[in-house]
Amino acid sequence: MADETATVSGGPIESLAPAETHTAITALSQPLTQRKIDSGTFTNTAKVSALTPDGNPLEQTDQMTASDTTKLAYPAMTLKKAGDFSQLNTPPRAGDIVTYTLTVTNTGNVTLKDVVVTDPLDGLIIDGLKANEKTFEKMPPTRAGSVQTFKATYALTQSDIDGGNLQNTARLAANNSLDDAMSPVSSETVSMKLEQTPAITLKKTDDYKIEQAPIAGTTKINYTFAVKNTGNVKAVIKPAPPPGNIAPIEPVETKKLYKNNPGKYNQNIR
Looking at the fold, whether 14 and 89 belong to one and the same domain comes out as no
- Domain containing 11: what range? 2-71
Q: Given this model, what pLDDT does residue 244 score?
A: 59
Looking at the fold, whether 41 and 147 belong to one and the same domain comes out as no
Tell whether 235 is covered by a domain. Answer: no
pLDDT tens track, the chain, 270 positions:
777 777 878 778 878 788 878 776 777 778 889 999 999 998 888 888 888 888 888 867 666 677 788 899 999 999 999 999 999 999 999 999 999 999 999 999 999 999 999 999 999 999 989 999 999 999 999 878 899 999 999 999 999 999 999 999 999 999 999 999 999 999 999 999 999 999 999 999 988 777 777 778 888 888 998 989 999 999 887 776 666 555 544 544 444 444 444 444 444 433
SS (H, E, C) the chain: CEECCEEEECCCCCCCCCCCCCCCCEEEECCCCHHHHHCCEEEEEEECCCECCCCCECCCCHHHEEEEEEECCCCCEEEEEEEECCCCCCCCCCCCEEEEEEEEEECCCCCEEEEEEECCCCCCEECCEECCEEEEEEECCCCCCCEEEEEEEEECCHHHHHHCEEEECCEEEEECCCCCECCCEECCCEEEECCCCCCEEEEEEECCCCCCCCCCCCCCCCEEEEEEECCCCCCCCCCCCCHHHCCCCCCCCEEEECCCCCCCEEEEEC
Q: Given this model, what pLDDT does residue 181 score?
A: 97
Asked which of 159, 193, 227 is the last residue of a domain, the reply is 193
How many C-beta atoms surround the C-beta of residue 136 within 10 A? Answer: 17
Counting the structural domains of the chain, the total is 2
Distances (CA, A) of 166 to 89, 119, 163, 257: 15, 13, 8, 70
Looking at the fold, whether 85 and 51 belong to one and the same domain comes out as no
Tell whether 169 is covered by a domain. Answer: yes
Provide the whole-model pTM. Answer: 0.72
Looking at the fold, whether 93 and 61 belong to one and the same domain comes out as no
Please say whether the beta carbons of 116 and 170 come within 8 A.
no
Phi-psi region at 24: left, alpha or beta (left = phi > 0; alpha = psi -120 to 50): alpha
